Structure 1
Amino acid sequence: MERWKIVRAFLLGPLIEAAVPKPGNVNRFRDFEDLTFYHFLFADTAVAGVYYEAVKTAELLKKGILEPWEAGLGELMRRAVQASREAQDANPNFGIIALSLPLMMGMAIGRNMLDARKKARLLIEESTVRDTMEFYRAIRIANPKGIPSGVKYDVYSDDSFRELFQDEINLARLAEISCERELIFCEWLNEYELSYSTFGRLYELIKELPLEDAVVRAFVELLANNLDTLIIRKAGVEEAKLVQEKAKKVLKGELTVEELDAFMREKGDLRNPGSLADIMAVSLSLLVLRGLRIELKDGKVWGVTGRP
């Protein structure tokens, strides 16, 4: 797959995700007190250089010049997060970076979009303890909300790097340990199952609805069918279940999207579904790779795939 095509897709997908007025998230109409739409614009474009380098590295892997364990996934993640942080002062895209980089590299190695899932999983499995250490450094730079303390391999503990080394914890092992706490790790392990199924749903919906409406509909379905792990970490599992129940009511026609959005903003950003927003960003990147372009029809922006 052509290098810049991959990079463009994984830059544009998160930008679309940030712009669309999805319930509970920052968007082009709504901000949070400490996170704005502009943070996403600056952060999501700041990573372009690292993304380009990641795809170049993947091409060397495909040619056999490098082995999978030499991919340097952890360092690439840390450098992308650092670039994001240098462009703005919040954490808009740590999860997007962590999801996108293995899959981008899988796109460059694999035969097609489906094969890319397996290649991304291979890179996670073949990662090294150094990759995990660099990933931990990336977390410390991003400083995401809700990271637990006092747990085994505590990100902010001075002993964590020694423990990771002693126990030989690569990214795959870390994901197995942490999947229950963060959706990103589950995606690493299950070959991006949720991202790809959401991409498939978006591909169907854009045939019936304008682009923004399709994204909102797919996102409400995500909320209705999954508990957001960021909400769980910040506010507890009961709050996450409340959001899920409200989203189900939207699908049943018992609640409007606007009412769901108002409910999710009642407590500031505690009910902000950031983990599922990351899934949506990657799913939109896949849709861009599939050929997404836009057309204006009757004053509405529609997403179209295929050649004009």
Structure 2
Amino acid sequence: RKAAQGHGSPGSLILEGVQAWRDWNRSSNTHFGSLVLMIPISLATSSASGPERLEEELARVLEETTVQDAVDFYRAFELAGARVAEVEEFSLLAKDSENAICLSEKTLLELMQLSMGHDIVAREWATNYRRSFLLAERLVEQTGKFGLNAGIVRTFLAALAEVPDSLISAKFGPEKAQQVSRQAAEALADTTLEKARRMDCDLLEEDINPGSTADLIAASLFISLLRDLRF
């Protein structure tokens, strides 16, 4: 609600969101990536004069992030216990990262730009949500053609087939992520979606979660709804 009203900054609102679900004794970090993607979109809608101005306002929100946003984001990440790939510089897993950020004066957008090569969510920030907007258009097309559930499933499978999931890569390695992407492409080719159902069961059995791609689809759905998609 604060974000939609234009109150607060991305980092502080992400941290507040994580604190809120922790206060409700929700220890899961399932929604962290979605929160990171949706907060800037909500802030952008508060100042956009219409859906056609959303991308422009979103770029402004991201460009105006500060060092404090970066610090708040790192605190939110630690509190959420989210998973990410290990990196040498400004690692989210390093204990001294907060001090390093302050000394370097890196903004949250700049940190996302540094991480865009290995993280889907960071890449959206760094590219002004390029894939999210493209997938939002695909969602409109696919849900119109196949219905709500099948349209979303097909869009998800296409996104997963195109780019290996960074959460899977962080947990199980890039080879497993690429394997899952190949499975998604095969499942998408099956018009009955039966292969998609079997793939879903297999991934659940192996405790493999293409969560970064799910975060991307959540952001795309949000954009679609803001652009008057109706179900």
- The alignment's TM-score, normalised by the length of structure 2, stands at 0.91
For residues 262-273 of structure 1, the aligned pairs below 5 Å read 262-268=201-207, 271-273=208-210
Structure 1 residue aligned with 2:122: 185
Counterparts of 1:57 and 1:290, CA distance in 2: 19
Residue 141 in structure 1 maps to residue 88 in structure 2: no
Give a deviation string over 1:253-294, Cα, whole Å, max 9, x none.
3971122223323421xx31000100111111122223344x
Q: Within 5 Å, which residues of 2 pair with 1:76-91?
A: 76-87=13-24, 88-91=26-29
| Counterparts of 1:80 and 1:99, CA distance in 2 | 12
For residue 216 of structure 1, what is the amino acid of its counterpart?
Answer: V
Q: Deviations over 1:141-192 (max 9, x none)?
A: 11112452x7322334332122101111101110111112211111112121
Alignment match, 1:286: 223
SS across alignment from 1:202: helix
TM-score normalised by the chain length of structure 1: 0.69
Counterpart of 1:225 in structure 2 is: 162
Decide whether aligned partners of structure 1 residues 289 and 161 sit closer, same or farther in structure 2, where only a CA change above 3 A counts: same
Distance in structure 2 (CA, Å) of the matches to 1:185 and 1:57: 22
> CA contact under 8 A between 1:85 and 1:91: conserved in structure 2?
no
> Runs of 5+ in structure 1 lacking a partner?
1-51, 59-70, 294-302, 304-308
Greater percentage in helix: 2
Whose RCO is larger (CA < 8 A, sep 6+)? 1
Over the aligned positions, Cα root-mean-square deviation in angstroms equals 1.9
Please tell me whether Structure 1 or Structure 2 has the larger radius of gyration of its CA atoms.
1
Whole-angstrom distance in 1 between the partners of 2:9 and 2:225: 26
| Counterpart residue number, 1:159 | 96
Deviations 1:32-71 (A, max 9, x none): xxxxxxxxxxxxxxxxxxxx1122236xxxxxxxxxxxx5
| Uncovered stretches (5+) of structure 2, i.e. residues with no partner | none
Partner of 1:168: 105
Q: Which moved more, 1:245-254 or 1:278-287?
A: 245-254
Q: Secondary structure at the match of 1:242?
A: helix
Aligned residue for 1:63?
Answer: none
> Which residue of 81, 92, 95 maps to 2:30?
92
Partners of 2:6 and 2:47 within 8 A in 1: no
Residue identity (%): 29
Paired residues in the alignment total: 228
Report deviation, 1:198. 1.2
2:172 — aligned with what?
Answer: 235
Q: Distance in 2 between matches of 1:280 and 1:154?
A: 26
**Does the CA-based 8 Å contact 2:27-2:80 persist in structure 1?**
no
One-letter identity of the residue aligned with 1:173: E
